[in-house]
Amino acid sequence: MSPPTTPPWRGPSRSHARGLPAWSAPTAEVPLELFAICRPGEVTPEWAWDGADGRGVRVCVVDSGVDGSHPLVGDLERAAEVVAGADGELAVSDCEAADSAGHGTACASIIRSMAPGVSLSSMRVLTDSIHGTGAALLLGLGRAIDEGYDVINLSLSTTQSRFCQALHELADRAYFRRCTLVVSAHNQPVLSYPWNFASVVSVASHNEPDPMSFYYNPSPPVEFFARGVKVDVAWRHGTQMRVTGNSFATPHVAGIIARILSKHPWLTPFQLKSVLYLTARNVICADGGVNDER
């Protein structure tokens, strides 16, 4: 029996089986589909992403928009934004691939530099001054999750606790739909969301120059450290800028994840976390060395 060519999570939901509790599977009558995942002797950086460029992976940047004409970004699969209609109700609509703030374009350019083959999309939820409403974030993020992106880069957070539960539900929805949310920690030592949820990949900065260097943090809630200090990125009106912040560490990890998925497309979010952990530079390998020495 061969595994299906389409991952199970892209198909229809399993119907309820009579005589079994909800969510159960009648495996005595209908065998579960095989799950195509290889079993390497050791997960190494070479196994994880060498030779991959992100081709076949769809990444959405939920941010201030993305300038698709910037040479460091390139063409977008789709550009959408959250807008208020005549009745004041928020809706998602297609828009020009533009970004007058620069923040989303910066994140997209990092992802493109890390994984040049990815299919990039933009969901604008922030204003020109890099502010936004919780309602816009919830709607835009929810739509991006429902549209089936493999990876969503979320280089923003909210300190408003009233949005915590709704964001938690969206993070769980993404997790079970095999959509990996890569979320930046707040730049200030304050309580914010959704980066501190266990179902997302949370990222803060280190101050080394290598874009492929990342570290596992043994003292959560933030899980990984990636390059986020003095990073050259695309900016507004075709320009470039040198920036610092957890916002810019996050797309480094999103790009690495895209490369991993390009090579191993059946990895689920929790398996991707394991691969990141096992390939981080400070993790001791089976032979007693560390990835940093390889």
Q: Is residue 33 domain-resident?
A: no
What's the rounded Cα separation, in Å, for the pair 162 and 17?
A: 37
Domain that holds residue 181: 56-283
Question: Does 183 fall in a domain?
Answer: yes
What CATH number corresponds to the domain at position 185?
3.40.50.200
Q: Specify if 291 maps to a domain.
A: no
Predicted local distance difference test score (pLDDT) of residue 279: 95
In a domain, 209, yes or no: yes
Residue 294 pLDDT > 60, yes or no? no
- Split at pLDDT 50, 70, 90, the class of 162 is very high
Distance of CA 111 to the CA centre of its chain: 10
Average pLDDT over residues 171-198: 95
Q: Is residue 44 part of a domain?
A: no
Other Cβ atoms less than 10 A from the Cβ of 20: the count is 12
Q: What one-character DSSP code corresponds to residue 10?
A: G
Give 190: exposed, middle or buried? Use CB within 10 Å, 0-12, 13-18, 19+: exposed
How many folded domains does the chain comprise?
1
Residue 20 is encoded by which pair of tokens?
A: 């079994």
Share of the chain above pLDDT 70, in %: 88
Share of the chain above pLDDT 90, in %: 74
Is residue 3 one of the residues assigned to a domain?
A: no
Q: What is the pLDDT of residue 118?
A: 98
Lowest pLDDT segment from 80-94, 132-146, 229-243, 246-260: 80-94
Phi/psi for 269 (5° steps) reads -55, -40
145 within a domain of the structure (yes/no):
yes
What's this model's pTM, rounded to 2 decimal places?
A: 0.89
Q: Per the domain annotation, does 266 fall within a domain?
A: yes
Pairing of strands 224-227, 231-234: unpaired
Q: How far apart are the first and last CA of the chain?
A: 39
